[in-house]
Amino acid sequence: WHGRTLGQAVISRRWSGWLRLHSVPANQIIETFWNGAIDAQRSIPSSVPRPRLLAYHDWTDQQWAYRAELHQSVSVRPVARHAVLTTDPHLPSAWWFALRSALDDIAVVPTDRVTLHEGFLAWAMPHYLGTHIHDHASDSWTTAHGDLHYANLCGPHLSILDWEGWGIAPDGYDAAMLHSYSLLVPTVAARVRDQFAGLFGTSTGRFAELAVITELLHTTTYGENLELAAPLRQRAALLLGRTVPVVHRRPAGY
């Protein structure tokens, strides 16, 4: 993925697992992402369904650092091959309730890891939404998975993959992220809003959505999530009560 991670199923006579290899220039290691799986194994409660980290190994080769992580294999498949949902997967009610319970358990995990920085939002919101963080900021920040999309969620029995970027984010960040990745399938977006009805429509949920929309619009300027650009702006316009600017290139300064 983006030239820095590889993953492959591995099988021996006794067990099967999933091997993930990370690579990064040795002087560019970002500890939050580099240690995400290890920190999750230590801190995320067992009530949150996920493959466990069994072992890891670090080494360097000239200017590059590498980490190999061996995870448990899971018998269920990701809900989608890509982050952006394009068809309704028709997930059972039990799956949605399990997800809600898992996110509740994640939210109360104490950590000093940071998923989303306020400084980024202070810079990016004016560029992508034409608004300022201090107009919407919530004092409620909780622990989040940080990359909750349909390629990181397995079904029909829930298992949550990829704990690289978990940490502190606006309350409701994970639900807002999932909703944004559902916008191309209105029935699923409606299901997310229904399942997290206590969040959407509140000031806390509104801020979480605007934060996620800002972040995802930022990725479109790198050529990612392009199919979401228009739906994200439409959702932001609904939340803000006005149109939002169209940014085709990443603004300078961050």
| C-alpha atoms less than 13 angstroms from C-alpha of 8 in its C-beta half-sphere | 6
For residue 142, the 8-state DSSP code is E
Confidence of residue 94 (pLDDT cuts 50, 70, 90): very high
pLDDT per residue over 17-57, tens digit each? 999 999 999 999 988 889 999 999 999 999 999 999 999 99
- DSSP SS3 for 132: coil
Give yes or no for residue 222 having a pLDDT over 90. Answer: no
| DSSP secondary structure of 46-78 | TTS--PPEEEEEEEEETTEEEEEEEEE--SSEE
pLDDT in the model for residue 110: 97
pLDDT per residue over 225-241, tens digit each? 999 999 999 999 999 99
How do 159-160 and 167-170 pair as beta strands?
unpaired
The mean pLDDT of 188-214, rounded to a whole number, is 95
Asked if residue 176 lies in contact with residue 208, where contact means CB atoms within 8 angstroms, the answer is yes
Asked if residue 124 lies in contact with residue 247, where contact means CB atoms within 8 angstroms, the answer is no
pLDDT per residue over 104-124, tens digit each? 999 999 999 999 999 999 999
pLDDT in the model for residue 122: 92
Give yes or no for residue 251 having a pLDDT over 80. Answer: no
Confidence of residue 135 (pLDDT cuts 50, 70, 90): confident
Q: Is the dihedral of CA 135, 141, 146, 149 positive or negative?
A: negative
The mean pLDDT of 166-185, rounded to a whole number, is 98
Give yes or no for residue 63 having a pLDDT over 70. Answer: yes
Asked if residue 128 lies in contact with residue 217, where contact means CB atoms within 8 angstroms, the answer is yes
Cα-based angle 127, 182, 40 (whole degrees, multiple of 5): 85
pLDDT per residue over 148-158, tens digit each? 999 999 999 99
Asked if residue 130 lies in contact with residue 247, where contact means CB atoms within 8 angstroms, the answer is no
Whether residue 156 has a cis bond before it, omega within 30° of 0: yes
pLDDT in the model for residue 158: 98
Contacts 24+ apart (CB under 8 A), 224-232: 225/83, 225/84, 227/84, 227/184, 228/84, 228/180, 228/181, 228/183, 228/184, 231/183, 231/184, 232/180, 232/183
Give yes or no for residue 2 having a pLDDT over 70. Answer: no
pLDDT in the model for residue 1: 63
Asked if residue 2 lies in contact with residue 22, where contact means CB atoms within 8 angstroms, the answer is no
The neighbouring-strand residues paired with 58 are 67
The mean pLDDT of 147-169, rounded to a whole number, is 96
Find all residues with CB under 8 Å of 217, minimum gap 6, and list them.
128, 129, 229, 232, 233, 247
Residue corresponding to tokens 């360097």 = 60
